[in-house]
Structure 1
Amino acid sequence: MSVEYKKKYPTDVTDSEWEIVLQFIPKPKSGKGKSGRPASDLRNVFNGIRYVNKTGCQWRMLPNDFGPWSTIYGYYNKWSKLKIWKTLMDELRKMVRKRQGRKPDPSAGSVDSQSVKSSIQGESIGIDGGKLVKGRKRHILVDTLGLILSVIVTPANEGDRNGLKNLLTDYFSNGISRLRKIWVDGGYSGSALKEWVRKLKKTHQIDLEVSEKEGKGFNVVKKRWVVERTFAWIYNFRRNSKDYERKTDNSEAMIQISMISILLNRLS
């Protein structure tokens, strides 16, 4: 039986979206109070998290309609530690790809990074000397549709080459082996990285291709423009306008939640 719910905010999930999400979040325990919450309460929790992600408001500033802010944050933090956001993002991405007649896992993708200022004195903060940004760096691997396959957040002084290694290590940790082609910019060149990728060929046949901008002024970079567009997508969620999180795991979770919203919109 579907849960009766009255939509209150533009960020609230629709009934059809909630039916999809409910398949992948931890099922509520039986009982009342601390022993578990009914699905209707979990929907409020999920909506509260989406509200923070889209509007960028502080947790303590959450409207009371969603319930106590501490409860909403508690679920967000718990689901982040359990990698629920990553799992949900991965499953929704596969559903979107299947709907478009593609295989669940891609054979090609693009990698890039983005340095953003940090608004708090959290852990893992650095300075990107090239862009003169003090904060953190977002490394993302996307498929040819621009859908995120993996996201890693590091201090801003972390090199792009190390970011690529971490992305591929994270992505392949799930036993996926279909990815073959990755488009990158000139920042991912170098003999050390080529040697690392070469060693991967024992298990994963990866071909790195550098795709640079041609000419002066604004030009769409062949193949790699999709990853730039993905950064623009997640930047539209105000919680991602800076890095507001104390821990990099939560920074990654906020990006995953943004991508989840994009994927749910496509599916519904």
Structure 2
Amino acid sequence: MDDRLAKRLVPDGLWEIVAPLLPAPKRRRQGGGLRPVDDRAVFTAIVYVLTSGCAWRHLPAEFGVSTPTAHRRFQAWTRAGVWRRLHVAVLDQLGAAGEVDWSRVVADGAVVRAKRGGALTGRNPVDRGKKGSKIHVLADRTGLPLAVAISAANTHDSLALEPLVQAIPAIRSRRGRRRRRPDKLHADKGYDFPHLRAMLRQRRITPRIARRGIEPSDKLGRHRWIIESCIAWLFGRRRLTIRYERYPHLFLGLAAALICYNRLTK
């Protein structure tokens, strides 16, 4: 494989963060067998599948990783929680550099088609009832994804807000203790429910939610670009635009971590 492509997909700085998070390979009791494929080569192949949107079976041979090996190790690392820990590790570095803006966060969701069905899918009300999933995102003021989640396409946005807020990790700060509480939360009328406002105030987060029948949806205006940009960055990883996996959460955490790492390099 072209070394320049590999370094572009997985720079040395990213690999330094990823490598300590990967579980050690299991040793065979009887010994022998082939030497395990290098973890970095496998991780690079996984990032290629995520960014290009190709099927596992179309993984180029130049990566030096077979399709079964890449897919098997991807599933094992997913079960081990590697992507979530990678996302938090990158956010920690951003937080320590003062790059996480806690002054406000914005929440929203977007629906994708689920080709093979599976867990957390449902009839998509805006796609003729075809099966789909909804990706929920909570981003800071600059568009960094702080928390991501997935649900069935027919899940109301409001049901995802509290889990998203609870999923914000405790992130390092430039000075002082770790932080996980934003000052304000902006959202559209789909989140306008008294119990959600009460939940936010209980956590000392000021709700800035458009009120149904009182305020127009476009009042979110100058803050909506934040979440729209974040969702666009996620869907720039083409594997997320259509869900092919029967199991949820597979690529979403990795995509969020890569977006945060791109910000870290800038």
The TM-score range, normalised by the shorter chain, is: 0.7 to 0.9
Aligned position for 2:45:
48
Aligned position for 1:232:
232
**Distance in 1 (alpha carbons) for counterparts of 2:59 and 2:109:** 31
Letter in 2 for 1:258: A
Aligned position for 2:154:
157
1:82 aligns with 2:80: yes
Sort the Cα spacing of 1:169 and 1:266 in 2 relative to 1 into closer, same or farther, 3 A: closer
**Distance in 1 (alpha carbons) for counterparts of 2:94 and 2:224:** 21
Report the TM-score, using the length of structure 2 for normalisation: 0.80
Superposition deviation, residue 34 in structure 1: 7.1
Sort the Cα spacing of 1:97 and 1:221 in 2 relative to 1 into closer, same or farther, 3 A: farther
Which runs of no fewer than 5 residues in structure 2 stay unpaired?
172-177, 211-216
Aligned position for 2:175:
none
Letter in 2 for 1:126: G
**Distance in 2 (alpha carbons) for counterparts of 1:42 and 1:197:** 42
1:145 aligns with 2:119: no
Equivalent residues, number:
248
Classify the secondary structure of the residue corresponding to 1:20.
helix
2:107/2:186 contact within 8 Å kept: yes
Aligned-residue sequence identity (percent) comes to 29
1:76-123 CA distances to partner (integer Å, 9 max, x unpaired)?
Answer: 111112221011012112212433x34x68353110011111111222
Report the TM-score, using the length of structure 1 for normalisation: 0.79
**Distance in 2 (alpha carbons) for counterparts of 1:208 and 1:81:** 35
Letter in 2 for 1:235: F
2:170/2:180 contact within 8 Å kept: no
**Distance in 1 (alpha carbons) for counterparts of 2:191 and 2:128:** 19
2:145/2:260 contact within 8 Å kept: no
Which runs of no fewer than 5 residues in structure 1 stay unpaired?
215-219
Superposition deviation, residue 189 in structure 1: 0.2
Sort the Cα spacing of 1:112 and 1:34 in 2 relative to 1 into closer, same or farther, 3 A: farther
2:101/2:142 contact within 8 Å kept: no
Sort the Cα spacing of 1:108 and 1:24 in 2 relative to 1 into closer, same or farther, 3 A: farther
Superposition deviation, residue 132 in structure 1: 4.8
1:207 aligns with 2:206: yes
Classify the secondary structure of the residue corresponding to 2:221.
coil
What does 1:159-238 align with in structure 2 at a 5 Å threshold? 159-171=156-168, 177-198=180-201, 201=202, 204-210=203-209, 212-214=217-219, 221-238=221-238
2:103/2:182 contact within 8 Å kept: yes
Superposition deviation, residue 16 in structure 1: 3.1
Sort the Cα spacing of 1:119 and 1:111 in 2 relative to 1 into closer, same or farther, 3 A: same
Classify the secondary structure of the residue corresponding to 1:26.
coil
Aligned position for 1:217:
none
Letter in 2 for 1:85: W
1:98 aligns with 2:101: no
Supply the RMSD in Å over aligned alpha carbons: 3.0
